[in-house]
Every structure is written in structure tokens, then in C-alpha cells.
Chain A
């Protein structure tokens, strides 16, 4: 169960272990422990075993297998897999089975990965704790009294719990990196346009990006190499883009900036871990200095106008006319109202209302329009910073994992993404690497940020940080 993706692929390719054995072992682990975590909304056991069998048959015929041969993978349940329920953690999509498969998922399957199941998330990826799922909250495998973070909490928990070596999430404002930090694993938000969004149910189209979770930097890179690449079905996909999974752990001579605006308002333990990371990178020969990126302080405000604005439009299609939940009313307007009132949870409604206001006549310029200007400012500021520094670092989350039910104020919850949001607004890549923990053993991640298409150097710094990181956190049942 502690095998990583690369190790599994090597064993399967060399016939030392069959894909079926790998899948059975992981399904077994899920059936034994997922009741303590609730990472999965759907376990695709039958499909996974069939897929594994096909891989084994091909291997026995001497066919060459893909880079993720036999590697079990969990998918956040906002990605379409043909014929399997895709709920987005919402009642409004309960029972809906897409007739098509997301491009990113197709790429995984083409690389011979095995789809194990669909993981829990905050409804429509709106949240930072996975408590907003309409089905059940997911718990942090390291400490089940804590949240796993969100919105990709189920995927993060799956990897941290050793249910799968890799899981796929989506990151609109930190939804991969923040749960990775809180669960003590690696989480990557690639450059906007590097991974196709086709088949990812949109939250905020200009910010959403699919990325991997893994327990080590190399596995995350392996997964990203498979996920990345141009897709004709996504107009925002970067032409000719790819990610080459070859990088070193050398940081000597690199100039690394520590984003000043992200070092205030963070917990003591997080600050401590950040200082350790700075010291470690210096010891490896990097120049590490404080850098100010003033506009990032407006990032949260801009994000909470742009993302809800886009969401209010993206979620209009859930009207009860064609698929999903329908609560019939006396006329079409009442059907819309009742369907949407029953189908959506409170946070989703809150954001749709926010977004509707932000786009309304008379408010557009002051709200949405101004937020887009902030976005431009952030891009300019990042560009300036990258003139002086190769990469930037910051804490991923201002705090360690918080208790389930602790954050009841939406604004307090929104603050969880304060360090991660600017990368989404800029479209830049960023990732979280586990580096330290607090006294209670709760993991703390460091965020590495790079300019657009700067994944190579980002992974180098992450790999180096991994070398200096504290011992990885393990699921609670392994410590019992």
C-alpha cells in the first residue's frame, strides 16, 4: 500500500505484480478503512478489476504498457466518466451519468492507469473543507476529527490514506494545494491551459485547472506528464503544450522569493515550517529573499467576485429541464425555482447570488470589472517578481487542518485560500509540498509558485524541499 505510482508501474510492466493484484489490494484497503474517512462517493470496483484484467492480458501478450500501468487512480467527482454517476457533490446532479469521458481521464486510461472511484468534494468544488458536500463530509486520514481541506478533499484523503497512490483534483482557488497541505501530500495546480478542462464540470472556467495529488513529487510529475497536453476540445488549452517529467533536485544558484504578503496572519507552526524551508533551501545553495507582491492582498476579494460570477453562469444549466433533479412546479418558472432551491446547497446558492450581483447592470463595472483589473495588476506584479526571482514560495495554507464543523463563518472559510488564489488569477502553476508539521503531528505544506509553463523549475524546487521534509504523516489507523 505504500508503493508509489512509479514503483507500481515498474512492477506491473515487468510482470512482477499483476495489475489485478494491485487493484485488489487497493480496493481491499478502501473497503477496510474508507468508512473512517469517507473519501469516496463511488467505488468503481467492477470496472477497475475489468480494466486491470485487460492490462494484464495485454502484458501477457507482450504488449508495451503505458507509464501508469496498473496504477489505481481516484478522480474528484466533478470529472465525467462515461456511464458513471458524476455528482459534483450536489443533489442536483444525483443519478446523472455523463455519456462522455473527460479528456484528462481518457489520457489516464490511455496510459493504463486504473480508475478506482470518484471522490467526495465540496459541492461544485465550492469550499475549503469538503464539508459542503451534499452527501457527507470527508475526514482527514491523519486525524479524522479534522477536515481534509477542500474542495478536492476526497482525492487528497484517498492519497493520504493510501487508498490510491495518485488522485486527480481540480483547483480553482486552491482546491488541490490546500487539501494537499492539510493531508501531508503533494498537490499540483498546473499552468492554466496545460491540462484540458473538457469533461471537468465547470466552477469558474477562467480559473479551473485539473491537477494531480501524490505522496511524492516524482509521482505527481509522472501523473502530470500523462495529464498535460493540448486538446482540440478545449479552446483555452495551450497549443503544443506538454510537460516533460525530467527535472533535478538542484536549487543551487536559484533565486527564490518568499512572498511577504503571505507570511502575515499565518499560524506559528506554519511560520516555523516556512522558516525551516527557507533555511533548508539556503543550505542547498539557493538565494532566498523576501519579495513583496502588493496586489496579492486584493486577490481574495477579486477572486470572490470573478469565481462566483462565472459560477452563477456555469450553474445556470442545472434547471431541471434536461437531466438531474427536477422538482415540478405549476409552470416553468416555478420548476426552475423549486429545482434549484432543493438541488443546491447553501454555499453554492451564496456564491451564485454573489456572482449574479457582480454581473448585474449598474454593478458590473464596480464589481466584476474592477476584479478583472485586479487580476491584471496581479499578473503585472508577478511578472515583476519573476524578473528578479526564478520561483516564489509561501505557505500553502495559513493554518493546519481545522476541526470538522469549526469554521461556520463563510468569510473565515474563504481565508483558507488566501495564499493559493493569486496563482489561479494569474494562470500560473503552483504546488504544495509537505515539509513540516505542528506539535500535534498535523501536516504543513510549502507552496512553490512559478511563472506560466514554469513547471520544470517548480518541480525542481519541490523535489529539493521533499529531500529536507519532515517524516511523512501516516493515516491514523497505522498509528493505532
Chain B
């Protein structure tokens, strides 16, 4: 969107992901959210003198899961200490992986852009505590520190600067999130901080190859913030450059209310974290057996699930809305039932539409409630015209209330039992006799009067008829009349 102005935007993302372990990374405190401040702590995560870290092997398993899900190589890795002072960092250093991370050289696909974003690395580290500043972030009167989060296991996923728009960045995070959730390593709740995004944004003039100076934007807690912040920041940088200024490499804070980024530190500070290997931990060397075992346990990842759906639809050119439906099903987890329905002969588009639209809205609270077998039974009935679309949706709604109820029982209770062909023909005959003028106009070509008859039929039958079948009968009768003329 900035190309008209003569600028290209380059974006790289760093995503911190909290792992779904039972306990913290280096101690046996619970890894949980929302407890009373400073109650979920022990000598180790408080960094009390003399305490020592012990690696949570479950966290290592999750990191490997993430790496494999992002097509990374899994490497022997070393924990380092990143040294700096901050009140919510109890040891004066953060234990993180530095130049030997556990996962390297992966990639992630952006389906709407038909593009691969390279994943430079994914490394393990411990989270810090949480500071609450009373007053403004600069010159706050006082700060409160909660160490419940200190030591929570994180994996930081660092992309290459391969994205060129806010939309790509949003899709990257959205796709990453669904992959991470599918891997089982995280719950992906951005609003609870399970997934935290920092964006590195730079701009350069069209025609130049060298990347511009980048700014890192922190505090992006939603896809909306991410998109807005990137767009704002790119505009800001372009304005600075067009005004003849230079971009200063810095960390900037996104203010959601004001819709702008601001420099975090007033003075330029070059940080030297003095990384060195953490002597209290031994290097991690995941065996090939472990990596293979984890690989074999991984579920099918969203990109492949998307492909399976596309293949099942046997189309070369999907519409934009169909592609969106495919993505929705994959994100929601209703893709399996579409495949099942197609394997039972249900038309792909019908199964996809129901799974992407009705299933996701009706079962939004708990996607696990719907029984795929019942879904297939229902869409099969709809496909055979035994149920109308309206009826089918009504049955789904009932299934959300009573998930174990038999589909046929629901249909009977709702009075959707289909009429026999004779009964239907009888109804149509009676309608023609009682509405001769309208019928004549229909025969003469006023097709819109078909709807008039279908509506009457619905009324007479209390909604039990299938409108399409009524239309078919009327069509046949008209053809007979026209042929006999």
C-alpha cells in the first residue's frame, strides 16, 4: 500500500509463545495464569541465592514439537545467560538460548499470499515476572512486581524479514497460531499473553535493495493491534525519511488507544547482554529417537489439512469465499467432517458450507461437541433433498443443545419428516386448482411465480416440504403442458 509513495515495507516478527506445561521451565511451580500475585513462586523461580535450575523435559518436548511443526531442524542446544538488570527479572539474567537454539531453518506458508516465510529459529527461554507501573511508564511513581510468571517456559519464534505488508504479518501470526495450537504446545490465547508478538518494521525506497533501519514494536496483543501498528509505523518512517530525517534503531511501544507507536527509551542505550553459557545447566542434545517419537505423535498440521480439503473438492480454481471457508474449517477443526462427508458421497461444496458457516457459529463455544458422524448423516439427508437447508440448520442447532440425540429423532420432533412423492404431488395439484390465474402466468413464463407456489406449499405443509422438490414438480407439469400444445 506504500508502493504508490515509492516505498517498500519489510517486516520480521518475533513471537513469544507460552508452553502448556504443567510446571515452570526450571522448577516445580505450577504454570498457570491469573493467580494472586506472588503466590506461585519458589526459591528457584525467585532466583534466591543458592537455588539452581533443572530443565523441565516436557518443555523441551514442546519446543521440539513447535520446531517440527514449523519444518525446522532440531539441533543440540545450549542455554545462555542474558545479563541485564530489571526489577521483574529475579536473577539479574534471563536464561535463554543464544547462538545454539534448539530449532533452526524452518518456514511457514501464508495461504492467501501463496508465499513461504522463513523461520530463522525457535528457541527456549524463561519468562520474566510482570511489572505494573503506578503512573506513566516513564517516571512512574512506583512499580509493583509479580513473580508468578517468572520462569514460565517460552519458545520464541523468530521469522526472517520476509513479510511486506500488515496483511501478510497478520496472516503469519494467524497461521502460526493455528499451527502452534494444533501442535499442542500452547493454547495460543493472545489476550492472556500466551502469544506475544514483537514486530520489526523497516521501509526502503522502491528500487533499493538494502533494508532500511528497523524499529522493534512491542506490546502487540492482538492481530488488530499488529496490523494497525505496522501500518502506523511504516507511515511514520516514510514521513521521517521524506522529511529528510533518518530512522533511529529503537524499541517502540504500541499504544492501542492512541493508535500510535512511541520510543520506549528517551536516551540511546546500547545494551550489551554479555551472553555466556549458563553453567548451571547442561547442554540439550535431543536424541534422534526422541525427535522421531515426537514427530510421529504430531497431528496433521493446518497447511496439510488445507491441502486435503482442496484435493477433496477436486477443483483447480476455488473462489475467494471457498478458500476462506476452507481456512475457517481448518482453523475451527471442522475439516475432518467435511472429508468424511465427501467420502460418503456428499457434495464437497455443501459439506464445506455447512462445516465452515453453520458448524463454526453454532458450535463456537465448544468445537468438540459436534459428532462428525451426525454431521455426515445430516448433510447426506440434505444432499438427497430429504431436508431443506433451513431444516438442516435447525437440526444442527438442536444438536448443539443435545449433542447425543439421534438425528432422525430430532427431525421427527421438529416435524421435518419428508412427505411422500404422492402427498407432495397432491399438494401441488390442490394449489394449482385454487390459484388458476397464477398458474397460467407461471406456465406462460413468469418464473418468479414459482416462489409464490413454494411459499403456499410451505404454509399448507407447515414447512415440511422441500422447496426444491416443489419447484421440480411444477417444472415438470409446465413442460408437460407446453409439450402438449
Contacts and interface: CB of A to CB of B under 8 A. Distances in A.
Contacts of A323: 48
Nearest to B46: A322
Contact of A359 (B91, B145, B274, B281): B274
Given A317-B92, A319-B92, A197 B52 contact: yes
Interface stretch (A143-151, A198-206, A472-480): A198-206
Interface in A330-367: 331-332, 336, 356, 359-361, 364
B90 A236 contact: no
Interface string A63-91: 00000000000000011100000101000
Contacts of A98: 43, 48-50
A316 B93 contact: yes
Interface residues of A, number: 46
B177 interface: no
B272 interface: yes
A10 B90 CA distance: 46
A201 B91 CA distance: 12
Contacts of B47: 317
Interface stretch (A227-235, A276-284, A395-403, A443-451): A227-235
B85 A319 contact: yes
A99 interface: yes
A125 interface: no
B348 interface: no
Given A98-B43, A313-B274, A321-B145, A201 B93 contact: no
Interface string B258-276: 0000000000000010111
Contacts of B52: 197-198, 233-235
Interface string B278-302: 0111100000000000000000000
Nearest to B273: A361
In this complex, the member of B51, B81, B139, B274 whose beta carbon has the largest number of chain A beta carbons within 10 angstroms is: B274
A368 interface: yes
B272 A360 contact: yes
Contacts of A201: 49-50
B184 interface: no
A93 B49 contact: yes
Contacts of B46: 322
Interface in A187-219: 197-202, 204-206
A102 B48 CA distance: 12
Contacts, number: 101
A404 interface: no
Interface string B136-169: 0001000101000000000000000000000000
B130 to A, nearest CB: 14
Contacts of A361: 272, 274
Contacts of A315: 92
Interface string B13-57: 000000000000000000000000000000100111111111100
Given A235-B280, A360-B272, A360-B274, A316 B50 contact: no
Contacts of A319: 85, 87, 92
A368 B81 CA distance: 14
A316 B95 CA distance: 13
B49 A316 contact: no
A238 B276 CA distance: 22
Interface string B74-101: 0000000101010100111100000000
Nearest to A205: B279
Nearest to B91: A317
Nearest to A361: B272
Contacts of B275: 359
Contacts of B43: 98-100
A316 B92 contact: yes
Contacts of A318: 49, 92
A336 B85 contact: yes
A95 to B, nearest CB: 13
A310 B49 contact: no
Contact of A232 (B54, B274, B276): B54
A77 B65 CA distance: 44
A197 B53 CA distance: 11
A322 B279 contact: no
A418 interface: no
A258 B135 CA distance: 67
B276 A99 contact: no
A332 B141 CA distance: 11
A368 B49 contact: no
B49 A86 contact: yes
A29 B281 CA distance: 42
B48 A99 contact: yes
A22 interface: no
A318 B93 CA distance: 12
A437 interface: no
Given A98-B48, A198-B51, A356 B145 contact: no
Contacts of A232: 54
A316 B276 CA distance: 14
Nearest to A231: B52
A79 to B, nearest CB: 7
A96 B46 CA distance: 14
**Residue among A205, A309, A315 with most chain B CB within 10 A:** A205
Interface in A217-250: 232-236
Nearest to A355: B274
Choose among B46, B52, B90, B282 the residue with the greatest number of A CB atoms under 10 Å from its CB: B52
Nearest to A204: B279
Interface in A161-211: 197-202, 204-206
B397 to A, nearest CB: 54
Contact of A321 (B51, B83, B87, B282): B87
A349 to B, nearest CB: 15
B49 A235 contact: no
Nearest to A340: B85
A235 B87 contact: no
A315 B93 CA distance: 10
A356 B93 CA distance: 13
Nearest to A124: B49
B49 A313 contact: no
A48 to B, nearest CB: 22
Contact of A313 (B48, B55, B93, B145): B93
Contact of A235 (B54, B83, B91, B93): B54
Nearest to A324: B49
Contacts of B276: 309-310, 313, 359, 364, 368
A336 B145 CA distance: 16
Contact of B83 (A200, A233, A359): A359
B37 to A, nearest CB: 13
Contacts of B143: 332
B274 A202 contact: no
Contacts of B282: 235-236
Contacts of A80: 48-50
Contacts of A321: 87, 90, 145
Interface of B: 43, 46-55, 81, 83, 85, 87, 90-93, 139, 143, 145, 272, 274-276, 279-282
Shortest Cβ-Cβ A-B pairs, 4 listed: A316-B92, A359-B274, A206-B279, A205-B279
Interface of A: 78-80, 86, 88, 93, 96, 98-100, 102, 197-202, 204-206, 232-236, 309-310, 312-313, 315-319, 321-323, 331-332, 336, 356, 359-361, 364, 368
10 contacts: A98-B49, A102-B50, A198-B52, A317-B91, A322-B46, A359-B83, A359-B275, A360-B272, A360-B274, A364-B274
Given A100-B43, A312-B83, A313-B274, 11 more contacts: A80-B48, A96-B49, A99-B48, A199-B51, A200-B50, A206-B279, A232-B54, A309-B276, A313-B83, A315-B92, A316-B92
